[in-house]
Structure 1
Amino acid sequence: MSLSYDVFIAEPIPLNVRERVPNGDERRFSPLSITLVYGDRDAVLVDPPLTRNQADDVARWVEATGKNLTHIFATHGHGDHWFTAGLLAERFDAQVVASAGTIEQMRRNVAIRPQFWDALLPGQIPDAPATATVPDGNRIDLEGHELRIVEVGHSDTDETSVLHVPDLDLVVAGDVIYNGVHQYLVESKDGGVDAWRKAIDIVEGLRPRFIVTGHKNKDLDDDAQRAIAETRRYLDTVDELLPQHETARGFFDAMLERFPALLNPGAIWSGALALRPEKTP
Protein backbone atom coordinates (compact mmCIF):
# COMPACT_ATOMS: atom_id res chain seq x y z
CA MET A 1 0.00 0.00 0.00
CA SER A 2 1.33 3.39 -0.96
CA LEU A 3 0.15 6.95 -0.35
CA SER A 4 -0.48 9.81 -2.76
CA TYR A 5 -1.65 13.38 -2.42
CA ASP A 6 -3.57 15.89 -4.49
CA VAL A 7 -4.36 19.57 -4.06
CA PHE A 8 -7.52 21.55 -4.74
CA ILE A 9 -7.11 25.31 -5.18
CA ALA A 10 -10.07 27.45 -4.15
CA GLU A 11 -9.79 30.55 -6.28
CA PRO A 12 -9.62 34.06 -4.75
CA ILE A 13 -13.02 35.48 -3.81
CA PRO A 14 -13.98 39.16 -3.38
CA LEU A 15 -14.26 40.60 0.11
CA ASN A 16 -16.89 42.96 1.45
CA VAL A 17 -14.43 45.85 1.56
CA ARG A 18 -15.26 49.01 -0.38
CA GLU A 19 -11.77 50.51 -0.41
CA ARG A 20 -9.44 49.12 -3.03
CA VAL A 21 -5.81 48.23 -2.55
CA PRO A 22 -3.57 51.26 -3.27
CA ASN A 23 -2.46 49.72 -6.57
CA GLY A 24 -6.12 49.63 -7.66
CA ASP A 25 -6.82 45.94 -7.05
CA GLU A 26 -10.15 44.80 -5.63
CA ARG A 27 -9.86 43.40 -2.12
CA ARG A 28 -9.87 39.62 -2.41
CA PHE A 29 -9.07 36.61 -0.28
CA SER A 30 -5.92 34.73 -1.23
CA PRO A 31 -6.28 31.39 -3.03
CA LEU A 32 -6.70 28.48 -0.62
CA SER A 33 -4.96 25.11 -0.91
CA ILE A 34 -6.91 22.08 0.29
CA THR A 35 -4.88 18.86 0.38
CA LEU A 36 -6.07 15.26 0.17
CA VAL A 37 -3.63 12.58 1.34
CA TYR A 38 -4.93 9.15 0.40
CA GLY A 39 -4.21 5.45 0.21
CA ASP A 40 -6.01 2.62 -1.52
CA ARG A 41 -9.31 3.18 0.29
CA ASP A 42 -9.10 6.00 2.84
CA ALA A 43 -8.12 9.66 2.81
CA VAL A 44 -7.32 12.60 5.09
CA LEU A 45 -8.32 16.16 4.15
CA VAL A 46 -6.10 19.03 5.29
CA ASP A 47 -7.29 22.63 5.75
CA PRO A 48 -10.91 22.68 4.57
CA PRO A 49 -11.92 26.03 3.07
CA LEU A 50 -13.89 29.04 4.25
CA THR A 51 -17.28 29.35 2.53
CA ARG A 52 -20.21 27.06 1.83
CA ASN A 53 -19.65 27.29 -1.93
CA GLN A 54 -15.99 26.37 -1.55
CA ALA A 55 -16.96 23.43 0.66
CA ASP A 56 -19.39 22.17 -1.96
CA ASP A 57 -16.64 22.27 -4.58
CA VAL A 58 -14.24 20.43 -2.27
CA ALA A 59 -16.88 17.84 -1.40
CA ARG A 60 -17.48 17.05 -5.07
CA TRP A 61 -13.72 16.81 -5.59
CA VAL A 62 -13.36 14.32 -2.72
CA GLU A 63 -16.38 12.30 -3.84
CA ALA A 64 -14.91 11.99 -7.32
CA THR A 65 -11.89 10.18 -5.88
CA GLY A 66 -14.06 7.42 -4.44
CA LYS A 67 -12.02 7.50 -1.21
CA ASN A 68 -13.41 7.13 2.30
CA LEU A 69 -12.63 10.35 4.17
CA THR A 70 -11.66 9.43 7.74
CA HIS A 71 -10.15 12.65 9.13
CA ILE A 72 -10.18 16.39 8.51
CA PHE A 73 -7.13 18.20 9.89
CA ALA A 74 -6.67 21.95 10.43
CA THR A 75 -3.13 23.31 10.55
CA HIS A 76 -4.04 26.44 12.50
CA GLY A 77 -6.89 28.53 13.84
CA HIS A 78 -7.52 31.04 11.06
CA GLY A 79 -11.06 30.47 9.82
CA ASP A 80 -10.09 30.05 6.18
CA HIS A 81 -8.42 26.78 7.17
CA TRP A 82 -11.28 25.15 9.08
CA PHE A 83 -14.65 26.99 9.12
CA THR A 84 -16.19 24.37 6.79
CA ALA A 85 -14.67 21.40 8.65
CA GLY A 86 -17.90 20.58 10.47
CA LEU A 87 -19.94 20.80 7.28
CA LEU A 88 -17.60 18.40 5.48
CA ALA A 89 -17.23 16.11 8.51
CA GLU A 90 -21.00 15.63 8.61
CA ARG A 91 -21.16 14.96 4.89
CA PHE A 92 -18.40 12.33 4.99
CA ASP A 93 -18.74 11.06 8.57
CA ALA A 94 -15.16 12.11 9.24
CA GLN A 95 -13.41 13.19 12.44
CA VAL A 96 -12.08 16.75 12.77
CA VAL A 97 -8.66 16.88 14.44
CA ALA A 98 -6.08 19.51 15.33
CA SER A 99 -3.35 20.22 17.84
CA ALA A 100 -4.32 21.51 21.28
CA GLY A 101 -2.90 24.95 20.52
CA THR A 102 -4.75 25.17 17.23
CA ILE A 103 -8.03 24.31 18.96
CA GLU A 104 -7.52 27.26 21.31
CA GLN A 105 -6.95 29.51 18.30
CA MET A 106 -10.06 28.11 16.66
CA ARG A 107 -12.05 29.28 19.67
CA ARG A 108 -10.48 32.74 19.39
CA ASN A 109 -11.48 32.95 15.72
CA VAL A 110 -15.04 31.94 16.60
CA ALA A 111 -15.09 34.77 19.14
CA ILE A 112 -13.97 37.40 16.60
CA ARG A 113 -16.05 35.98 13.78
CA PRO A 114 -18.92 38.54 13.80
CA GLN A 115 -16.68 41.59 13.50
CA PHE A 116 -14.03 40.03 11.27
CA TRP A 117 -14.87 36.93 9.23
CA ASP A 118 -18.60 37.55 8.72
CA ALA A 119 -17.92 41.22 7.99
CA LEU A 120 -15.56 40.21 5.19
CA LEU A 121 -17.84 37.51 3.74
CA PRO A 122 -21.39 38.17 4.99
CA GLY A 123 -23.73 35.20 4.71
CA GLN A 124 -21.14 32.93 3.09
CA ILE A 125 -19.67 31.07 6.06
CA PRO A 126 -21.52 28.15 7.73
CA ASP A 127 -21.99 27.69 11.46
CA ALA A 128 -18.60 26.58 12.74
CA PRO A 129 -18.18 25.69 16.41
CA ALA A 130 -14.69 24.58 17.40
CA THR A 131 -15.35 20.85 17.82
CA ALA A 132 -11.96 19.45 16.79
CA THR A 133 -10.21 16.95 19.03
CA VAL A 134 -6.54 16.13 19.52
CA PRO A 135 -5.62 12.70 18.11
CA ASP A 136 -3.57 10.35 20.29
CA GLY A 137 0.08 11.31 20.16
CA ASN A 138 -0.63 13.98 17.54
CA ARG A 139 -0.74 11.15 14.99
CA ILE A 140 -3.25 10.13 12.31
CA ASP A 141 -3.18 6.59 10.98
CA LEU A 142 -3.90 6.28 7.27
CA GLU A 143 -3.98 2.62 6.20
CA GLY A 144 -1.00 1.84 8.44
CA HIS A 145 0.96 4.95 7.43
CA GLU A 146 1.69 7.53 10.11
CA LEU A 147 0.78 11.18 9.49
CA ARG A 148 2.40 13.36 12.14
CA ILE A 149 1.07 16.66 13.48
CA VAL A 150 4.12 18.83 14.21
CA GLU A 151 3.55 21.93 16.32
CA VAL A 152 5.75 24.85 15.21
CA GLY A 153 4.53 27.85 17.24
CA HIS A 154 3.92 31.25 15.67
CA SER A 155 3.90 31.69 11.89
CA ASP A 156 1.31 34.08 10.46
CA THR A 157 -0.69 33.42 13.65
CA ASP A 158 -0.11 31.73 17.00
CA GLU A 159 -0.05 28.00 17.78
CA THR A 160 0.32 26.72 14.24
CA SER A 161 1.18 23.20 13.13
CA VAL A 162 1.98 21.26 9.99
CA LEU A 163 1.20 17.73 8.82
CA HIS A 164 4.28 15.64 8.08
CA VAL A 165 3.78 12.65 5.79
CA PRO A 166 7.16 10.88 5.92
CA ASP A 167 6.23 8.21 3.38
CA LEU A 168 5.67 10.94 0.78
CA ASP A 169 8.52 13.26 1.86
CA LEU A 170 5.67 15.76 2.19
CA VAL A 171 4.78 18.53 4.59
CA VAL A 172 1.36 20.15 4.36
CA ALA A 173 2.48 23.43 5.84
CA GLY A 174 -0.59 25.61 6.22
CA ASP A 175 0.60 29.21 6.49
CA VAL A 176 4.09 28.49 7.79
CA ILE A 177 5.26 28.49 4.17
CA TYR A 178 3.79 30.48 1.27
CA ASN A 179 4.08 29.76 -2.45
CA GLY A 180 3.70 32.63 -4.89
CA VAL A 181 1.29 34.65 -2.70
CA HIS A 182 1.88 37.72 -0.52
CA GLN A 183 2.26 36.73 3.14
CA TYR A 184 -0.15 37.75 5.90
CA LEU A 185 1.76 40.03 8.28
CA VAL A 186 -1.06 41.41 10.43
CA GLU A 187 0.00 39.29 13.42
CA SER A 188 3.75 39.76 12.90
CA LYS A 189 4.42 42.62 15.32
CA ASP A 190 6.48 42.29 18.52
CA GLY A 191 8.86 39.57 17.39
CA GLY A 192 6.42 37.72 15.18
CA VAL A 193 8.74 37.66 12.18
CA ASP A 194 11.57 36.08 14.19
CA ALA A 195 9.17 33.52 15.66
CA TRP A 196 7.98 32.74 12.13
CA ARG A 197 11.57 32.05 11.09
CA LYS A 198 11.85 29.48 13.87
CA ALA A 199 8.72 27.76 12.57
CA ILE A 200 10.26 27.62 9.10
CA ASP A 201 13.40 26.06 10.61
CA ILE A 202 11.28 23.29 12.13
CA VAL A 203 9.66 22.56 8.78
CA GLU A 204 13.02 22.53 7.03
CA GLY A 205 14.31 20.12 9.68
CA LEU A 206 11.70 17.59 8.56
CA ARG A 207 13.61 17.45 5.24
CA PRO A 208 10.61 17.39 2.91
CA ARG A 209 10.91 17.17 -0.85
CA PHE A 210 7.41 18.56 -1.29
CA ILE A 211 5.50 21.26 0.58
CA VAL A 212 1.86 22.17 0.05
CA THR A 213 1.32 25.69 1.32
CA GLY A 214 -1.94 27.10 2.63
CA HIS A 215 -1.90 29.86 0.02
CA LYS A 216 -0.46 28.89 -3.33
CA ASN A 217 -0.26 30.10 -6.91
CA LYS A 218 -1.76 27.14 -8.75
CA ASP A 219 0.79 27.52 -11.55
CA LEU A 220 3.69 26.73 -9.22
CA ASP A 221 4.96 23.31 -8.15
CA ASP A 222 5.39 22.03 -4.59
CA ASP A 223 9.19 22.07 -4.50
CA ALA A 224 10.08 22.35 -0.82
CA GLN A 225 13.47 24.03 -1.07
CA ARG A 226 12.18 26.78 -3.33
CA ALA A 227 9.09 27.52 -1.22
CA ILE A 228 11.11 27.62 2.01
CA ALA A 229 13.74 29.91 0.50
CA GLU A 230 11.16 32.29 -0.95
CA THR A 231 9.20 32.47 2.32
CA ARG A 232 12.39 33.30 4.20
CA ARG A 233 13.35 35.92 1.61
CA TYR A 234 9.98 37.61 2.01
CA LEU A 235 10.41 37.90 5.78
CA ASP A 236 13.99 39.13 5.36
CA THR A 237 12.71 41.80 2.99
CA VAL A 238 10.11 42.88 5.55
CA ASP A 239 12.90 43.41 8.08
CA GLU A 240 14.91 45.31 5.48
CA LEU A 241 12.18 47.60 4.14
CA LEU A 242 9.97 48.30 7.14
CA PRO A 243 12.52 50.53 8.94
CA GLN A 244 13.02 52.49 5.71
CA HIS A 245 9.37 53.56 5.42
CA GLU A 246 7.38 55.53 7.95
CA THR A 247 4.01 55.05 6.27
CA ALA A 248 1.94 52.02 5.39
CA ARG A 249 1.78 53.20 1.78
CA GLY A 250 5.55 53.58 1.51
CA PHE A 251 6.15 50.08 2.88
CA PHE A 252 3.41 48.63 0.66
CA ASP A 253 4.86 50.22 -2.48
CA ALA A 254 8.35 49.00 -1.64
CA MET A 255 7.20 45.42 -1.06
CA LEU A 256 5.15 45.44 -4.25
CA GLU A 257 8.15 46.68 -6.21
CA ARG A 258 10.32 43.92 -4.72
CA PHE A 259 7.71 41.16 -5.28
CA PRO A 260 5.69 42.15 -8.37
CA ALA A 261 4.76 38.58 -9.34
CA LEU A 262 3.15 37.49 -6.06
CA LEU A 263 -0.63 37.10 -5.90
CA ASN A 264 -2.98 39.23 -3.79
CA PRO A 265 -1.29 42.55 -2.96
CA GLY A 266 -4.25 43.15 -0.64
CA ALA A 267 -2.59 40.82 1.86
CA ILE A 268 0.52 42.96 2.11
CA TRP A 269 -1.62 46.10 2.31
CA SER A 270 -3.39 44.64 5.36
CA GLY A 271 -0.01 43.87 6.85
CA ALA A 272 1.29 47.35 6.10
CA LEU A 273 -1.69 48.91 7.88
CA ALA A 274 -1.03 46.71 10.92
CA LEU A 275 2.72 47.34 11.03
CA ARG A 276 2.50 51.08 10.40
CA PRO A 277 -0.92 52.05 11.87
CA GLU A 278 0.10 55.36 13.39
CA LYS A 279 1.76 56.46 10.15
CA THR A 280 -1.03 55.55 7.74
CA PRO A 281 -1.63 58.45 5.35
Structure 2
Amino acid sequence: MYKIDSRILGMVGTNCYLLCNMDIKECVLIDPADSQDEISRMIDESGCSLKGILLTHGHFDHIMAADAVRDKYDVKVYASCDEKNTLEQPHINLGEAYGLKLSVKADVWHKDGEILKLAGFDIEALHTPGHTEGGSCYYIREIGVLFSGDTLFCGSVGRTDFPGGSMSEIVRSIKEKVMVLPDDTKVYPGHGEGTSVGYERVNNPFLVN
Protein backbone atom coordinates (compact mmCIF):
# COMPACT_ATOMS: atom_id res chain seq x y z
CA MET A 1 0.00 0.00 0.00
CA TYR A 2 1.23 3.46 -0.85
CA LYS A 3 0.32 6.95 0.29
CA ILE A 4 1.16 10.36 -1.17
CA ASP A 5 1.22 13.40 1.09
CA SER A 6 1.94 16.90 -0.15
CA ARG A 7 2.55 20.47 0.90
CA ILE A 8 2.35 23.70 -1.10
CA LEU A 9 5.50 25.59 -0.15
CA GLY A 10 7.52 28.65 -1.01
CA MET A 11 6.90 31.99 -2.63
CA VAL A 12 5.41 30.63 -5.84
CA GLY A 13 3.29 27.81 -4.43
CA THR A 14 5.35 24.75 -5.34
CA ASN A 15 4.08 21.23 -4.71
CA CYS A 16 6.34 19.12 -2.49
CA TYR A 17 5.40 15.43 -2.39
CA LEU A 18 6.14 12.57 -0.02
CA LEU A 19 5.67 9.11 -1.55
CA CYS A 20 5.28 6.56 1.23
CA ASN A 21 5.47 2.78 1.06
CA MET A 22 3.26 1.92 4.01
CA ASP A 23 4.13 -1.80 3.85
CA ILE A 24 7.75 -1.18 4.78
CA LYS A 25 7.43 2.30 6.34
CA GLU A 26 9.85 4.00 3.97
CA CYS A 27 9.39 7.12 1.86
CA VAL A 28 10.84 9.32 -0.87
CA LEU A 29 10.64 13.12 -1.04
CA ILE A 30 10.03 14.85 -4.37
CA ASP A 31 11.01 18.53 -4.80
CA PRO A 32 11.79 19.95 -1.33
CA ALA A 33 10.52 23.39 -2.28
CA ASP A 34 11.04 25.35 0.94
CA SER A 35 10.63 25.17 4.72
CA GLN A 36 12.65 22.35 6.22
CA ASP A 37 10.45 22.48 9.32
CA GLU A 38 7.24 21.85 7.39
CA ILE A 39 8.85 19.08 5.33
CA SER A 40 10.27 17.46 8.45
CA ARG A 41 6.82 17.55 10.03
CA MET A 42 5.34 15.84 6.98
CA ILE A 43 8.03 13.13 7.06
CA ASP A 44 7.77 12.56 10.80
CA GLU A 45 3.96 12.41 10.72
CA SER A 46 4.12 9.75 8.01
CA GLY A 47 5.86 7.34 10.36
CA CYS A 48 8.18 6.42 7.50
CA SER A 49 11.95 6.56 7.14
CA LEU A 50 13.18 8.88 4.38
CA LYS A 51 15.32 7.07 1.79
CA GLY A 52 16.03 9.72 -0.83
CA ILE A 53 15.21 13.09 -2.38
CA LEU A 54 14.21 13.33 -6.05
CA LEU A 55 14.52 16.62 -7.92
CA THR A 56 12.39 17.02 -11.04
CA HIS A 57 14.54 20.01 -12.06
CA GLY A 58 16.84 22.66 -10.66
CA HIS A 59 14.76 25.83 -10.42
CA PHE A 60 15.10 27.52 -7.05
CA ASP A 61 11.48 27.01 -6.03
CA HIS A 62 11.88 23.22 -6.17
CA ILE A 63 15.19 22.90 -4.31
CA MET A 64 15.33 25.50 -1.53
CA ALA A 65 15.20 22.97 1.31
CA ALA A 66 17.20 20.22 -0.42
CA ASP A 67 20.47 20.68 1.44
CA ALA A 68 18.82 21.08 4.85
CA VAL A 69 16.64 17.98 4.46
CA ARG A 70 19.54 15.95 3.05
CA ASP A 71 21.70 16.87 6.03
CA LYS A 72 19.02 16.22 8.63
CA TYR A 73 18.03 12.76 7.35
CA ASP A 74 21.40 11.75 5.88
CA VAL A 75 19.98 10.75 2.49
CA LYS A 76 21.03 11.24 -1.12
CA VAL A 77 19.71 13.77 -3.62
CA TYR A 78 18.94 12.45 -7.13
CA ALA A 79 18.75 14.56 -10.31
CA SER A 80 19.28 14.30 -14.05
CA CYS A 81 22.87 14.29 -15.28
CA ASP A 82 21.75 17.00 -17.73
CA GLU A 83 20.62 19.35 -14.95
CA LYS A 84 23.98 20.18 -13.34
CA ASN A 85 24.19 23.71 -14.75
CA THR A 86 20.69 24.62 -13.63
CA LEU A 87 21.10 23.20 -10.14
CA GLU A 88 24.50 24.68 -9.45
CA GLN A 89 24.27 28.16 -11.01
CA PRO A 90 22.03 30.79 -9.36
CA HIS A 91 21.59 32.82 -12.53
CA ILE A 92 20.24 29.75 -14.33
CA ASN A 93 18.13 28.30 -11.50
CA LEU A 94 16.47 31.73 -11.19
CA GLY A 95 17.40 32.13 -7.54
CA GLU A 96 19.55 35.13 -8.34
CA ALA A 97 16.49 37.08 -9.48
CA TYR A 98 15.11 36.68 -5.95
CA GLY A 99 18.37 37.53 -4.20
CA LEU A 100 19.23 33.89 -3.53
CA LYS A 101 22.70 32.43 -4.09
CA LEU A 102 21.30 28.95 -4.32
CA SER A 103 23.40 26.06 -5.56
CA VAL A 104 22.69 22.36 -5.02
CA LYS A 105 24.83 19.39 -6.01
CA ALA A 106 23.14 16.03 -6.43
CA ASP A 107 24.68 12.90 -4.92
CA VAL A 108 23.40 10.75 -7.77
CA TRP A 109 23.15 12.02 -11.35
CA HIS A 110 20.79 9.66 -13.14
CA LYS A 111 20.47 8.91 -16.83
CA ASP A 112 17.30 8.74 -18.91
CA GLY A 113 15.40 5.54 -18.27
CA GLU A 114 17.41 4.61 -15.21
CA ILE A 115 15.50 2.72 -12.50
CA LEU A 116 16.00 4.11 -9.00
CA LYS A 117 15.25 1.55 -6.32
CA LEU A 118 14.06 3.55 -3.33
CA ALA A 119 11.61 2.84 -0.50
CA GLY A 120 10.63 -0.46 -2.10
CA PHE A 121 9.63 1.22 -5.38
CA ASP A 122 11.14 0.95 -8.85
CA ILE A 123 11.17 4.62 -9.89
CA GLU A 124 11.91 5.26 -13.56
CA ALA A 125 13.67 8.54 -14.30
CA LEU A 126 12.26 9.93 -17.54
CA HIS A 127 14.33 12.81 -18.90
CA THR A 128 11.89 15.37 -20.29
CA PRO A 129 13.83 18.49 -21.35
CA GLY A 130 12.05 21.62 -22.44
CA HIS A 131 11.29 23.51 -19.23
CA THR A 132 14.97 23.15 -18.33
CA GLU A 133 17.85 21.29 -19.97
CA GLY A 134 17.61 18.33 -17.64
CA GLY A 135 14.04 18.30 -16.42
CA SER A 136 12.76 14.89 -15.36
CA CYS A 137 9.55 13.07 -14.56
CA TYR A 138 9.50 10.13 -12.17
CA TYR A 139 7.28 7.18 -13.07
CA ILE A 140 6.31 4.34 -10.74
CA ARG A 141 4.68 1.78 -12.98
CA GLU A 142 3.49 -0.56 -10.23
CA ILE A 143 1.20 2.09 -8.74
CA GLY A 144 0.47 4.08 -11.91
CA VAL A 145 1.90 7.38 -10.66
CA LEU A 146 3.96 10.05 -12.42
CA PHE A 147 5.58 13.06 -10.74
CA SER A 148 5.84 15.50 -13.62
CA GLY A 149 7.54 18.52 -12.04
CA ASP A 150 7.11 21.55 -14.29
CA THR A 151 7.01 19.50 -17.48
CA LEU A 152 3.27 18.77 -17.56
CA PHE A 153 0.43 20.56 -15.77
CA CYS A 154 -3.32 20.09 -15.81
CA GLY A 155 -4.27 21.61 -19.15
CA SER A 156 -0.86 23.11 -19.78
CA VAL A 157 2.90 22.60 -20.00
CA GLY A 158 5.85 24.22 -18.28
CA ARG A 159 7.17 27.63 -19.26
CA THR A 160 9.92 27.60 -21.86
CA ASP A 161 11.13 31.21 -21.68
CA PHE A 162 13.77 30.49 -19.03
CA PRO A 163 17.41 29.52 -19.71
CA GLY A 164 17.53 26.12 -21.37
CA GLY A 165 13.84 26.15 -22.25
CA SER A 166 12.32 25.09 -25.58
CA MET A 167 8.66 24.77 -26.52
CA SER A 168 9.31 22.27 -29.28
CA GLU A 169 11.42 20.20 -26.91
CA ILE A 170 8.93 20.14 -24.05
CA VAL A 171 6.07 19.11 -26.34
CA ARG A 172 8.23 16.40 -27.87
CA SER A 173 9.29 15.20 -24.41
CA ILE A 174 5.69 14.91 -23.24
CA LYS A 175 4.47 13.19 -26.37
CA GLU A 176 7.34 10.69 -26.49
CA LYS A 177 7.81 10.00 -22.77
CA VAL A 178 4.52 10.75 -21.00
CA MET A 179 1.72 10.25 -23.51
CA VAL A 180 2.88 6.68 -24.11
CA LEU A 181 1.96 5.81 -20.51
CA PRO A 182 -1.43 4.27 -19.63
CA ASP A 183 -4.39 6.65 -19.62
CA ASP A 184 -5.12 6.02 -15.95
CA THR A 185 -1.63 7.13 -14.86
CA LYS A 186 -2.09 9.72 -12.13
CA VAL A 187 0.00 12.85 -12.70
CA TYR A 188 1.31 14.93 -9.79
CA PRO A 189 2.67 18.23 -11.16
CA GLY A 190 5.02 20.79 -9.65
CA HIS A 191 2.26 23.40 -9.36
CA GLY A 192 -1.52 23.27 -9.29
CA GLU A 193 -3.93 20.38 -9.28
CA GLY A 194 -3.23 16.81 -10.30
CA THR A 195 -4.43 15.24 -13.52
CA SER A 196 -4.08 12.03 -15.55
CA VAL A 197 -2.39 11.03 -18.77
CA GLY A 198 -5.73 10.19 -20.36
CA TYR A 199 -7.22 13.58 -19.52
CA GLU A 200 -4.23 15.46 -20.90
CA ARG A 201 -4.17 13.36 -24.05
CA VAL A 202 -7.65 14.61 -24.93
CA ASN A 203 -7.83 18.04 -23.32
CA ASN A 204 -4.37 19.63 -23.20
CA PRO A 205 -4.27 22.29 -25.95
CA PHE A 206 -0.49 21.95 -26.28
CA LEU A 207 -0.78 18.25 -27.08
CA VAL A 208 -3.94 17.93 -29.12
CA ASN A 209 -3.23 18.17 -32.84
Residue 187 (structure 1) aligns with: 162
d(CA) in 2 for partners of 1:144, 1:73 = 15
In the TM superposition, 1:104-119 aligns within 5 A as 104-108=85-89, 110-112=90-92, 116-119=94-97
Q: Of residues 188, 196, 201 in structure 2, which corresponds to 1:223?
A: 196
Q: Which has the higher strand share?
A: 2
- Give the CA deviation at 1:37: 1.3
Q: 2:177 aligned with 1:199, yes or no?
A: no
Aligned position for 2:188: 212
Alpha-carbon distance change, 101 to 195 in structure 1, aligned in 2, over 3 angstroms: same
In structure 2, the partner of 1:176 is 151
Equivalent residue, structure 2, for 1:36 = 18
Larger mean Cα displacement after TM superposition, 31-40 or 173-182: 173-182
1:8/1:33 contact within 8 Å kept: yes
SS in 2 for 1:134: strand
Query: 98, 101, 109: which one pairs with 2:79?
Result: 98
Structure-1 residue corresponding to 2:124? 148
Structure 2: segments with no counterpart, 5+ residues: none
Distance 1:34 1:47 in 2: 5
Distance (whole Å) between structure 1 residues aligned to residue 157 and residue 137 of structure 2: 20
C-alpha deviation, 1:127, in angstroms: 5.5
Q: Deviations over 1:139-173 (max 9, x none)?
A: 2223443111111222x222211101111101101
Identical-pair percentage: 19
Query: 1-side partners of 2:157 and 2:57: how far apart?
Result: 18
1:255 maps to none
- The residue aligned with 2:134 is 159
SS state at 1:106 partner: helix
SS at match of 1:233: coil
C-alpha distance in 1 between matches for 2:101 and 2:88: 15
Q: Is the 8 A contact 2:148 2:189 kept in 1?
A: yes
More helix by share: 1
What secondary structure does 2:153 align onto? coil
Letter in 1 for 2:205: R
Q: Distance in 2 between matches of 1:118 and 1:112?
A: 8
Contact (CA 8 Å) 2:95, 2:101: kept in 1 or not?
Answer: no
Query: Could you tell me how far apart the structure 1 residues matched to 2:179 and 2:157 are?
Result: 20
1:1-281 matched pairs, under 5 angstroms: 2-10=1-9, 13=11, 29=12, 31-39=13-21, 40-49=24-33, 51=34, 54-108=35-89, 110-112=90-92, 116-120=94-98, 122=99, 128-134=103-109, 138-154=114-130, 156-179=131-154, 183-187=158-162, 192-201=166-175, 202-207=177-182, 209-217=185-193, 221-227=194-200, 229-230=202-203, 232-234=204-206
Q: Mark the CA change 1:200 to 1:107 in structure 2 (over 3 Å): closer, same or farther.
A: same
CA distance in structure 2 between the aligned counterparts of 1:188 and 1:229, rounded to whole angstroms: 30
Say which structure, 1 or 2, has more relative contact order (CA 8 Å, 6+ apart).
1
On the 8 A contact 2:110/2:125 being kept in 1, the answer is: no
Instruction: Mark the runs of 5 or more structure 1 residues left unpaired by the alignment.
Output: 14-28, 237-281
Q: Deviations for 1:34-72, whole angstroms, at most 9, x for unmatched residues?
A: 1111113111111110x4xx3321221111111111100
